[in-house]
Structure 1
Amino acid sequence: MDEVFGRKDMISPVRLKELSVKSDVSGFVQLGSHLGALAITGAGLWYFWGGWWAVPFFIAHGVLINFLYAGQHEMSHSTVFRTKKLNEIFGRLFGFVLIYPRDFDQIQHFAHHRYTQDWEGDGELGRERYSMLSYLLWVLGPTYWYTRIRRVIRFSLGIVSETYIPADQHPRVIREARWHLAGYALIAALSVLAGSWIAVKLWLLPMLVMKPVHQLQNTIEHLGLPHVDQISENTRTTRTNAIMRWMCWNMQFHTAHHAFPAVPFHRLPDLHRTIFVEKGRKPHSMTYLGFQLAVIKAFWNGRTEADYPDDKIWIMDDTDLEPVAPRPGRVKQA
């Protein structure tokens, strides 16, 4: 995932090299803060289980679990840690927790970067075009979890039908899925033997129920943008607050990430400022709520994704967009 997919006139080689430096320290600070927050919400959920105070802890815990995918995504790019093996170890652990095997995700995500918004090649576009119902089922979680769980089982049975997975990688994803399935079976067996619900209370239930919050990020990045081979046109940046940027490992700066995916997550605000703000450019961007309202409006009265042209933007807002990077004086240099 070290290949750079960006225009040479967007940034100087010297600046890009500077921003591409990885840091074990920055990686552990982000990882530690995310896992630390999970420990706090998990302890609160366990302590207050059965009472009303459990509700806010349940919500926060489930959201934090789902946003571990932001870390898994960055580890698939091997940009969280300078020590390459650490990216793989934690990426595999996160993939197991999220029922999203790391090797498969890396292959799918590489296809997504190389063929962004290409219906034939993009690993994330292996779906039917959305209608209102199919979109809501995806955002709320039922079809998301169905496809994830079904894929692990299907791979475990030796069935790989995804065209973006090369034939020589089939054994790799099959073996990975079987290890995952064995791990889940072991946890289930130990839970039954011990009469324990801890895996359900502190992992599966909050993760499954709170998936819609994470889907806000998953859906906003490309939907409604042109299916063209131009990063500045086919990818969207999200306008949001510092807490969400921390929880999503800065993946809201998604246009900058797609332009230069080798730049670590902790330097994405600086990259965004360099290639957009300092040059007086603005990427397509929306807020989470504004995007979801626009999607619902677009699918109203029976319309579907197929009713809109592939080569034009059809989900946007008409506000006078401000630069989404934090103010220069508030950004910490790594």
Structure 2
Amino acid sequence: MKIRLADAVLLALVAVIAVFAFGLFPAIVPHSLAADVLFIVVMGATLPLHYGLMHETMHGNLFASEDWNRRAGRLLGITMGYPWETMRFGHLAHHGFNRHDYDRPESWREGQGYFAKSLQYYFQLVIGNVVLYVLAPLPLLLPVSTTPAVVKLMDQSPEMEWFRNAAFRTFTNPQKRRAIRIDLLCTVVLFAFAIWMWGAQWPVFALGIAARWCVQSVLDNAPHYAMPLDSGRDARNTTFPRPLRWMILNQNFHGAHHHSPQTHWGELPALYAKMNVPLDGSWFTAQARQFRGPVRLH
């Protein structure tokens, strides 16, 4: 098991936060409004780090061993509420076919009413992306014989045939199905244990998880919002306060990451410097920009 010191420290930090979140916090911290608010804020603010480490495992960048990347990624996914295998499938599809039909939620197409599209878009932006992450693995609880029927429920356009074929291959794989089912069971047990530990204060825990899911949902498409349909591997590179970049694992250099997904997060600043492209505003502005709403893409 080979891992960089910085990654080991950040993994340990995320593990400590998880231990507090899933039971230790209500056991040792006196209940008060200030404590509740602090918990919710910390849960939301540390989501980029938690997911960032999971993201590194998807690309095989956290550990030298593929097995250890998978183990760590699955544990990180369980504590977030969604299985690593389904998240990895969707994320690698995003890298392989950037801006495909499922990958441009802000696209306002011809014939769509703006009001209806806006309702759908803002729901997806604020929480809907993660709702999809949570619900997508559930069909894997059904017999494998139902997989073709589930796949047929996806977008039936010829352009998305590659996605349907990839989903069928991935989710009929016995090892992946078993891993997803185990992770779902572990998630249910862990979250039930946390609710029991929080007791009458369980809504505070629920709000903490909701804060994480909302942050995750907003972050999901921010570096690609309103970019051209043919943007290929391009994504926005933005500014972020240097001393705090570890909190987002340098994902303000998202364009650099897309050009070289196997580059470790610690090396992204140097990679960006070699690209000789301008920064596109701040990371925070990129998040806020999405609230402009649906746009026409060309």
Tell me whether the two structures share a fold, i.e. TM-score over 0.5. Answer: yes
User: 1:132, 1:61 → 2: CA distance?
Assistant: 28
- What are the equivalent positions in structure 2 for 1:1-334 lying under 5 Å apart? 23-36=3-16, 47-65=29-47, 67-119=49-101, 125=103, 129=107, 131-141=117-127, 143-158=128-143, 159=147, 160-161=150-151, 163=164, 165-172=166-173, 173-187=176-190, 195-197=196-198, 200=202, 204-231=206-233, 234-242=234-242, 244-276=244-276, 281-282=277-278, 285-297=280-292, 299=293, 304-305=294-295, 308-310=296-298
Q: What's the counterpart of residue 316 of structure 1?
A: none
- Output the amino acid matched with 1:286: G
CA shift in 2, pair 1:292/1:168, >3 Å: closer
Amino acid at match of 2:126: L
Aligned equivalents of 2:71, 2:118: Cα separation in 1: 39
1:149-169 residue CA offsets vs partner (Å, 9 max, x unmatched)? 321222222444251634332
2:160 aligns with none
> Which deviates more from structure 2 when the two are superposed, residues 85-94 or residues 146-155?
146-155
Give the residue type in structure 2 aligned to 1:107.
F
State the one-letter code of the partner of 2:211: V
The amino acid of 1:179's aligned partner reads: I
Deviations 1:237-274 (A, max 9, x none): 23222365212211221111111111111111111112
Identity of aligned residues (%): 19
Kindly indicate whether the alpha-carbon contact (under 8 Å) linking 1:27 and 1:80 is maintained by their aligned counterparts in 2.
yes
Q: Residues 58 and 191 from structure 1, CA distance in 2 versus in 1: closer, same or farther, beyond 3 angstroms?
A: closer
Distance 2:26 2:278 in 1: 41
CA shift, 1:235, in A, is: 0.9
- Which one-letter code corresponds to 1:95 in the other structure? G
In the superposition, the TM-score normalised over structure 2's length comes to 0.75
Note the residue ranges of structure 2 that are not aligned, 5 or more in a row.
109-116, 155-163
The root-mean-square deviation of aligned C-alpha atoms, in Å, is: 3.2
* CA distance in 2: counterparts of 1:209 and 1:27, whole angstroms: 24
Preserved CA contact (<8 Å) 1:251 1:257: yes
Shift of 1:63: 3.0
Shift of 1:78: 0.7
Q: 1:264 to 1:187 in 2, by over 3 A?
A: closer
- Note the residue ranges of structure 1 that are not aligned, 5 or more in a row: 1-21, 311-334
Mapped contact 2:44–2:212 kept (Cα < 8 A): yes
The structure that is helix-richer by fraction is: 2
